[in-house]
Structures are given as C-alpha cells and as structure tokens.
Amino acid sequence: MSRHSIDTAADAQFFVIERKRGWTGLDLRELWRYRELMYFLTWRDVLVRYKQAVLGVAWAVLQPLLTMVVFTVIFNRLLGVKSPASDVPYPVFSFAGLLPWQFFAGALARSGVSLVGNANLLTKVYFPRLVIPISAVLAGLVDLGISFLVLIALMAAYGIAPTWHAVFLPLFVVLAIAASLAVSLWLSALNVLYRDVQYIIPFLVQLWMFVSPVIYPVSSIPAGPLRVAFSLNPMTGVIGGFRWALLGQQFPGGYMWASTAVVAVLLLGGLFYFKRMERVFADVV
C-alpha cells in the first residue's frame, strides 16, 4: 500500500503524452516558452532572404516602389483613380496601402509552404507547431520596416508631414500581423493536408488585392451591400487604418470595426483549427 502512495506522489510531476481527441486548448503558455525558437526561426528566414537575394535590401525597396509607379501610371493617369484627399497625391496614397498589403501577401506566400518546407523539423524535433507559421509571418516585418522608410522619404519628397495619428501606427501593424496570421494558419495547415493549396495561394493573393482597397480608396465603393461585403475583408480595416495613421485621412469608421472583428474570428478559428490538425502533421507531411 505504501508503495502505491509513493507512486501517486511521484505521478504529480509526470508529463503525460497521450492521444488528444477533438478540439483542444491552445496552450499559449507553451508557445511563450518557445519564444526563443520563434525568434531564431524568424531570424533565419530574414538572414537567408537577405543573403540569397543579390539585390538584398534593394529588393525590399524596389518591389513596392515599382508597383506604386505602375499603379500611378495605369490606374491614376490612364484610368483616373484618385486619392480621396486633395493634399495627398496618388503615389503616396497607393504606397501607404501597399505597405500592409505586401506584408500580408508575403506572409501568405511564405507561411503557406512553411510547414511543408520545414518537414524535416516536423518529423525530427518536437516544438509547438504554431512557431513555424508565426515566424514565417514575422519575418516580413523587416521588409515592412524598409518599405516604411521609403514611404517617409516619399512623403518628404511630396512635402507631406505626418500627423499625430502616427502614434497609432503600431496598433495597425499589430492588426496587420493578426490578419496575416489569421489567414496563414488556415493556409499552412491546409497545405499539409492538401498539397495543392500552395498552387492556389498566388492566385488567391492576386484576386484578393483587387478586392482590397490598395489601388482605390474605400470611399469609391458605394455605401450599401457592396460596402458591407468589403468590410468583411480583413485587409480593408488594416489598409484603411494604415492610411489614417500615416496620411491623416478620414478615420475608417464602421467598416474598420467590422473588418477587425472578422480578423479576430478568423484568427481564433485558425488557431483552433491548426491545433486540431497539428497532431497529424508529422505523419502526413
């Protein structure tokens, strides 16, 4: 009998590995314990990218800059899309939208293939699998920072001073991360289970840009059902928020909250879906 009681006492410190069924908790505390790994994997992604590309930093500058030039020529000059505020020229307006958009597009492209690309880690080492798509998303922050400096230069060139709204920018960066992660979690997990998802992602990103207010302002969409549909796009709020914080344009208002709520729902759903699916990753990947 005494032996039994000792065993029970010792059992208290045992960590138990067994099959989990159905939906499980997110265990964010464990994720926090692995924050250094998350940091290192992000660091690796950034390091590798700037090492491999000959253009390195130049690429992070050129990509949004050239896109902006093309947008300005085609949509502004040829098709007559206008910036909603007369004191903000179209190039600055579209660049401010491209900032979060390219972060989002890059995050989807990287994280979509992140789990499959790290298959050797998934099958050989244990860590919370969430670390992988999260670090793939965070790796885009360096590009975002570089583009941000370009925007500052662009604003200076056009003589636009930032307003006090700029203090809220970090909030919208967090929202951009949340929106990117929300979609990335779904895509990365789905890509492990269905390997053709990775081919759909570029197409998805392309279509998504046209239904997000990158090229045109939200105000050009007529109020009504169409505006409501637009506000369900997680990126509508992020882009509107960036423009408000950086260029002092009209506060996005109602659609902003709707869009943020969609981000929250997608993110939470994505986290639980990912947690549910992660247990088979090592067997399937």
Partner 1 sequence: MSDIALRAVGLGKMYRIGAEREAYRTLRDTLARAAKRPIERLRHPGAATHASEQLWALRDIDLEVQHGEALGVIGSNGAGKSTLLKVVSRITEPTEGRVEVKGRVASLLEVGSGFHNELTGRENIQLNGAILGMTRAEIKRKFDDIVEFSEIGHFLDTPVKRYSSGMYVRLAFAVAAHLDPEIMIVDEVLAVGDASFQKKCLGKMNEVAHGGRTVLFVSHNMTAIQNLCSRCVWIDEGSIRQSGGAQEVVYSYLGRSAEGPVSGEIDLAHWPHRYGSGEARIVHARLLDENGVMTTTVHRTRPMEVRFVFESRCAHPLHFTAQIVADTGEKLLHLSHHDTPELRPGVLKGQYEVAFAVPVLPLCEGQYKFWLAIHTESMVPVDVVMDVLPFVAEDIADSPRPYRTTASESAFCWTPSHCSISPAP
Residue numbers of the site for partner 1 (CB under 8 A)? Answer: 3, 6-7, 9-11, 13-20, 36-37, 39-41, 43-44, 47-48, 51-52, 118, 120-127, 190, 193-197, 200, 279-280, 282-284
When the beta carbons of 7 and 78 are compared against partner 1, the nearer one is 7
When the beta carbons of 116 and 261 are compared against partner 1, the nearer one is 116
- Which tokens sit at 34? 């692995």
When the beta carbons of 100 and 128 are compared against partner 1, the nearer one is 128
- Give least dist CB 55 to partner 1, A: 16
- Give least dist CB 229 to partner 1, A: 24
- Give least dist CB 228 to partner 1, A: 29
When the beta carbons of 41 and 258 are compared against partner 1, the nearer one is 41
CB 191 within 8 A of CB 197: yes
Question: Rounded to whole angstroms, how far apart are CA atoms 238 and 260?
Answer: 8
- Give least dist CB 256 to partner 1, A: 33
- Give least dist CB 67 to partner 1, A: 27
Question: Rounded to whole angstroms, how far apart are CA atoms 101 and 212?
Answer: 9
When the beta carbons of 127 and 168 are compared against partner 1, the nearer one is 127
b/e per residue, 84-117, with b = 16+ CB within 10 A? ebeebbbbbbbbbbbbbbbbbbbbbbbbbbbbbb
**SS3 state of residue 211:** coil
Question: Rounded to whole angstroms, how far apart are CA atoms 256 and 237?
Answer: 4
- Which tokens sit at 249? 């344009």
